[in-house]
Amino acid sequence: MENLFKLTARDAVSNLKKGEISPMELIDAAEERIRKTDDKINALPTLCFDRARKNARHILEHPKKDIPPGYLHGLPIAVKDLIEVAGVRTTWGSPIHAEHISTHSDYLVERLEDNGAIIIGKSNTPEFGAGSHTFNEVFGHTHNPWNTKLSAGGSSGGSAASLAAGQVWLATGSDLGGSLRNPASFCSIAALRPSPGRVAHGPTSLPFNDLSVDGPMGRNIGDVALMLDAQVGHDPRDPVSISAPNTPFVTAAEHPRPPKRIAFSPNLGFLPVEDNVQEACEQAAKTFAAMGITVEEACIDFTGADEIFHVLRGQLFAGGRAKLLEQKELLKPEIVWNIESGLEMSGAQIAAATSARGALYQRTLEFFKTYDLLLCPAAAVPPFDGQARYPTEVAGVHLSRYIDWLMICGMITLTTCPAASIPCGFTSDKRPVGLQVVGPPRGEAAVISACTLFEQNQPFADMVPIDPIDAL
């Protein structure tokens, strides 16, 4: 049990399938690892081991006969604290729901548990997932395992930190403006924002929302592909959900196909990005070139996309969170700003942004007629001081809005393209940097293939899990 936490998710599932280890042994290993590490990183503030062991016994007593792609055979996972799990405390990181016990599970949780996942805990998140820095008034800050004085990113920061520290083998995350990609970059793990509809979720008051999606997080891209197979599929309760593909996504990791032509952009044309981040990502692009793949500096035309994102994100917060203003005094100021700015949007602004997004999508389709993939940084900055609320300046450029530093992910969100973040290096002071790999709409397999090839040519995927580092 001493080293079980070091197994990849795929190796752990393989051993579970063959009966060489049991779900109970992995639950025990996870519990011990959390006991040893979580006081330093605060990644999993809510644990549910009694529920986990009950579900493990059920899996052992009722083995599945027809095993679908992505079946996890009793693998322990963490679920982000924005996602309800029946019988488990779900707070959304907010004092408003600090003592809430869920009476039902999200559709995503139902599918994961049907596919043999065992939930052992809820991962920390900023209040209602707003902001790519994981802290809240209920559980406090989540710390980066690579340097506990730094941010773990967000809003899936608890999941990312938990994976990097070896507490779980897989974890769920969600992503609106980078909430999967940013913490993956900060914690040097892998994550994938899938195309809207790939992963069913709900119930929700905004079932037609395609800006925010749920997705998988793991220590490497093959593990991420495995979890994606456990998540995907049509659910009639989610009106935008689509059927699982005929070929499992893990096949793209097992038999990767190299792209022919890749575009690289250090800043999506105009965004401020720290030099040390650009340099690491440029080196990553050279890795693809060294494989014989054509790599050219090019980018989708993102003219006006930052404003489109601001308007549509505001509309989403106004539509889904406006009632929270009745308890305004309990909300962090960023939540209030999000909702109020959305309520102030005019119909003309929303109409213009919606139309402009349609034009951006058409430009995206044209771009992917020439290029198979787009590479760019997954975050504009490396992990920052954990006591700061968010970066107010990037590369010497003052930022007027608290979400402006997230635009390198937010603008990709608008395209509906799948996008992964994979580790691609470190700054000179040992802060992780992630590479964002963007595929065409519904092109998850191409993204997974390329990420696999990169991992095979670089050592970064093998560097986690780590013991949390209390850096000076």
- C-beta separation of 11 from 134 below 8 A: no
Residue 140 sits at the vertex; the CA angle it makes with 156 and 224, to the nearest 5 degrees, is 15
Pick the catalytic residue from 155, 174, 212, 241: 155
**Omega before residue 212 within 30° of 0, cis:** no
173 closest CA partner among 397, 467, 424, 409: 409
What amino acid is encoded at 334 in this protein?
E
Rounded to a whole number of angstroms, the CA Rg of the chain reads 20
Say whether 80 is catalytic.
Answer: yes
379 closest CA partner among 298, 436, 321, 320: 436
- C-beta separation of 100 from 141 below 8 A: no
**Omega before residue 203 within 30° of 0, cis:** yes
Strands 393-394 and 397-398: antiparallel
- C-beta separation of 465 from 163 below 8 A: yes
- Distance from CA of residue 385 to its chain's centroid? 21
Distance CA 156, CA 125 (A): 6
Q: What is the DSSP letter of 170?
A: E
CA dist 287 to 83, 206, 224, 290, 379, Å?
37, 41, 21, 5, 19
Say whether 341 is catalytic.
Answer: no
78: left (phi over 0), alpha (psi -120 to 50) or beta: beta
Torsion of CA 19, 20, 22, 23, to 10 degrees: -90
Pick the catalytic residue from 156, 179, 195, 449: 179
CA dist 67 to 70, 186, 296, Å?
8, 35, 42
Pick the catalytic residue from 80, 132, 156, 195: 80
- C-beta separation of 234 from 241 below 8 A: yes
Say whether 212 is catalytic.
Answer: no
For the chain, what is the total number of helices (H) and then of strands (E)?
Answer: 14, 17
CA atoms lying within 13 Å on the CB side of residue 299: 15
Cite the active site residues. 80, 155, 179
